[in-house]
Amino acid sequence: MKVTNKESADPLAVQHLSDRRLHSEGREEIVKDFSYSFRAATFYALSGPEFGGKSLLLHLLGLLAMPASGQVLMEGQSMTGLDLEELSEIRNRKFGFLFTAPFLLPAFNVLENVAMPLFKITQASAREAKTATETVLELMGISEMADIEVGQLRPLEEHLVALARAVVHRPKILIGENIGATLEDRVSEHLLSKMRQVCQRLGITVIATFAPSFKWERADVVLEVAHPRIEEVFNRIPHG
């Protein structure tokens, strides 16, 4: 297992990443020989046509699939050669995920839903979990909803709670998939603005894809994924 200096390593990097995935429609997604480093506290948007490779790339970056060749590095540590249990442990601790549906548990209130990862991942005490959860809810601007049952929430509120749950354990990377697919544009814009604000505050790198019909132009970096190329087409990060 290759390890570099963690003090200087970016939270996520890939080297010569290649893979392909065949969909049930008979269409194939391909990622070929992609190398890149993702910086902390930066919002990356993956754009490009459907089946152009962005969905496959997002899954590879989130350790939801392993590449046919090349490697993914977390803070300089290669994921190559790790078994499924080891990968799951890293994914749970180092990543947060925000999917199209919020997947909240109806039997629990907002605070309990958000706190779930702390018990599973960090084995926090009840007091520690409550403090950490209240801090994140305040950052999200929804602290007054802590005791509300999730069945009473509106769509935006549901997704804000899901976002809070995805970052409560302070992951290095937040993966957002198909943002805007089930929400009105104005709701998606609010969600993404809050996501960008909170993740910058917490130092979390965001990598996200958007629904084909939804446009959002406030990402720090845009990577256009259209086989055979993956190109950085926009970068607002100051250089030097």
Residue 103: pLDDT band with limits 50, 70, 90: very high
Q: Tens digit of pLDDT for each residue in 164-194?
A: 999 999 999 999 999 999 999 999 999 999 9
pLDDT at 123: 85
pLDDT at 25: 77
Q: Tens digit of pLDDT for each residue in 62-100?
A: 999 999 999 999 999 999 999 999 999 999 999 999 999
Residue 6: pLDDT band with limits 50, 70, 90: low
Domain ranges in the chain are 40-50+83-235
Q: Within 13 A of 181's CA, how many CA atoms are on the CB side?
A: 13
Residue 239: pLDDT band with limits 50, 70, 90: low
pLDDT at 5: 45
Residue 240: pLDDT band with limits 50, 70, 90: low
Task: Indicate the residue type of 187.
Answer: V
Residue 24: pLDDT band with limits 50, 70, 90: confident
Domain 40-50+83-235: what homologous superfamily? P-loop containing nucleotide triphosphate hydrolases (3.40.50.300)
Strand residues in the chain grouped as ranges (E): 12-22, 28-38, 43-47, 69-74, 77-78, 95-98, 173-179, 205-210, 221-226, 229-235
Q: DSSP character for 167?
A: H
| Whole-number average pLDDT of the chain | 93
Residue 237: pLDDT band with limits 50, 70, 90: confident
Q: Tens digit of pLDDT for each residue in 10-23?
A: 999 999 999 999 98
Joined together, the tokens standing for residue 146 give 């802590």
pLDDT at 7: 45
